[in-house]
Amino acid sequence: MRILVTGVSGYVGAALVPALAAHDVRGFARSRERVAATGVQLDELVIGDALTGAGLDRAMDGVEVAYYLIHSMEGAAGGAFPEQELRGAERFAAAAAEAGVRRIVYLGGLVPRDGAASRHLASRLAVEEALLTAAPESIALRASIVIGARSRSFRFLVRLIERLPVLALPAWRRNRTRPIDGRDVLAYLVASATAPAALSGRSWDIAGPDTVTYEQLIDRIAESMLVGRPKLGLGLTMTPVASQVAAAIAGEDPGLIGPLMEGLEHDLLPRDDAAAGAFGIRLHSFDAAVERALRDWEMTEEVAAR
């Protein structure tokens, strides 16, 4: 089966390609150099840009299943990433429909059951809707924080714990979520390529087995890092200012961190737990996910606080 994987220079895309080795895998990316830096081996690489549509027709030729693993939060002028994200998804969807692609697989985000979705999560939903209607057997997966050595949200938290002598936690520290091991996300994505049609045409909430508050999440990462940090609980969220400061401390792009932190202001929990049984996935615990991620990280780079 010929499969297209977009975003192959990113964390998820680069990990997915070797997991699909039984198939004919074609990659799609904007930069050949960034793909080469990951060391990922592809049967074919098409250089293009979903935002402009460049290269999409060639990328889709003969493809049965296409993975959409693209986001556009960074670099969007004036915070206009929702418009950019939707434009890229619509062009990808149109090219897939024109080429007769049978299934698009998309990885998005959990959305709050109570309260309005943040800009980032609302954008993820709009992208999901555009993609689900483009191919008859499409599957959307919605995840919370992915725990992995190359996951930028996980790395962001580790860097803050390393570098802050006191952890100032905004009011969203009490909100709950279900982080998921990167290995489990990968298993869901691989299973989605060959999942029966009965599982398609809809979104699935994928989540780890452990419900934690964001404060507990940070505490347990710090514990695995073998460090203790005093905490200061704040009564406000202050996301516009806090995200800029936190991004600077962690060495991250505020264009990414701001929208991600906006999404912490409500519980992010799955609607149900049906996905693991439906796709045959055995889930790793949160603590096992953190230990594995830190171990993998230390194979290539020092975690200073360990």
Which DSSP state fits 30?
Answer: S
Q: Helix crossing, 214-224 with 152-163: angle to 10°? A: 70
Kind and range of the H or E run holding 270: none
pTM (2 decimals)? 0.94
Enumerate domains of the chain plus CATH numbers: 2-211+266-298 (3.40.50.720)
Return mean pLDDT, the chain. Answer: 93
Residue (of 300, 297, 16) closest to 149 by Cα position:
297
Please check whether residue 81 is in contact with residue 122, taking contact to mean a CB–CB distance below 8 angstroms.
no
Written as tens digits, the pLDDT of the chain (306 aa) is 999 999 999 999 999 999 999 999 999 999 999 999 999 989 899 999 999 999 999 999 999 999 999 986 555 545 677 888 999 999 999 999 999 999 999 999 999 988 788 888 999 999 999 999 999 999 999 999 999 999 999 999 999 999 999 998 999 999 999 999 999 999 999 999 999 999 999 999 999 999 999 999 999 999 999 998 899 998 888 788 888 989 999 999 888 888 888 888 899 999 999 999 999 999 999 999 999 999 999 998 888 665
In this structure, the strands spanning 24-29 and 44-47 are parallel
Please check whether residue 72 is in contact with residue 84, taking contact to mean a CB–CB distance below 8 angstroms.
yes
Per the structure block, which two tokens stand in for 56? Answer: 């999409």
Per the structure block, which two tokens stand in for 45? Answer: 């690489």
CA gap 36, 181 in Å, rounded: 26
Residue type, position 2, single letter: R
